[in-house]
Structure formats: C-alpha cells, structure tokens
Amino acid sequence: MNNNAVMTGASVEQLKGEMDRAFESFSDRHAETESAQKTFQMVAQGLAALNKRRITVGRAVQNLIHTFTEALAKDPSCKIDPGKVTAAREEIAVLDAAMTHLRIGGHADAERAHLAALVLETESQLDFEQRRLNHHEASVAVLLTSAAGLDGGLELAGPGQVTEQMRGIVADLNDKLGRARDTLKDFDRQTAEARVQHESSLREKTI
C-alpha cells in the first residue's frame, strides 16, 4: 500500500472489496489442494498395496527355499518341484515393474499436482493476507485522520501490535511460498532424472 496516499472511507471500502475477492480465490485454491491431495493419497494407497503384495510374495519365496533346503538336507534324493518358486519370482518381477511404472508415472504425476496446488494456494493466501494488511492499515489511517481532526496533537508512535502480527504473517507466507516453489522445483528435477534412468534401463534390456 502506498503510505503517501490519502486514505478515505471510499479507499477503505475498495481495499475491502479486493480483500474479499482475494479470500474467495484463496478458498478456491484451498479446495483444489484438498482435491489434489485426495487423488495423491488414492494413488499412494495403490502403490502401497503393490508393495505389500511384493513383501508377501518375497517372504513366500524365502519360506519355500528354506523348506526345500531342509528337505534336501534330510533326503538328498528327494525330488523338488521348483515351479512354485519360479512362479513367485515371476510375480515379483511383475510387481517390481508395476511399482516402478506407477512410482515414476501416475504416482509422480499425482504428487506433482498436489505440490503445484500447494504453491498456488500459498500464492493466493499470501495475496489475501497482504490485502488484509492493506485494508487494516488503511482503516487505521482513516481513524487516525478522523481523531487528529479532534485533537491536533495526536501522533502515531508506531505500528500497533495487530499490524505487526499481520506483517509477520505476510513475511512467514513469503518464506513458505519460497520453500513450496523450491520443493516443486526439486521434485521436477528428481522425477525427470528418474524417468530418464528408467527409459535408459528399458533400452538396455531390449538390446
């Protein structure tokens, strides 16, 4: 807000309108973040289910190998059918491939959408808090101008406690927004690297 501008009742009302619109935008962004988070959680649950199955099958393989080893130790001539172990190992390979595909594909996309929504929400929250601060400071300025008309010796010693608290909120949100943007940027870099490595691995397998 321009501190040199003369604040009037009309100015305060205009700033209130801007503040109200900013709050509506912030509310919309918050709802979008919640939706993105729910989608991400659903995809994450699918990945967790695959991993749980992977662990279960892996343990089954170890148990089968242990059982076969004990049987051979007791009777070296006994015949062992490796079919179950082979089938389990094939399922593990399928599960590993599915998890990798989901992790760098749909899971990464859903997580990025959530992180991007957080950035937009924080931007809109910062805009709202800044406009709320502008409205508050304008309201105070108008009140002081009115009071000064009644008492010419009235002076403002400095920002009040409420103003300082609101300025602190704006400063904190600026920091939060910077961190959110950095997190999204790092995620994009890491995801791009993971996808390049995955594509390279697939090409090596086909050679």
User: For position 153, what pLDDT does the model report?
Assistant: 53
- pLDDT at residue 191 in the model: 96
- Regarding pTM above 0.95, the answer is no
Mean pLDDT by 10 residues, the chain (207 residues): 66 94 98 98 97 96 90 84 90 95 96 98 98 93 72 56 94 98 98 92 76
In a domain, 207, yes or no: no
Range of the domain at 197: 9-202
Residue 4 lies in a domain: no
Side-chain-facing half-sphere of 198: CA atoms under 13 Å: 16
Please tell me the predicted confidence (pLDDT) of residue 185.
98
pLDDT value of position 146: 74
Q: How many domains does the chain have?
A: 1
- Identify whether the C-beta of residue 113 lies closer than 8 Å to the C-beta of residue 41: no
* Residues of the chain by 3-state class (helix, strand, coil), percent to 5: 85, 0, 15
> What pLDDT, on a 0 to 100 scale, did the predictor assign at position 111?
98
Q: Residue 108 to residues 53, 189, 195: CA-CA distances in angstroms?
A: 21, 12, 10
The per-residue pLDDT for 80 is: 77
Q: What is the pLDDT of residue 157?
A: 52
Domain of 139, CATH number, reads: 1.10.287
Q: What is the pLDDT of residue 117?
A: 98
pLDDT of the residue at 32: 98
pLDDT value, residue 100:
94
2 part of a folded domain = no
The CA-to-CA distance between both ends of the chain, in Å, stands at 64
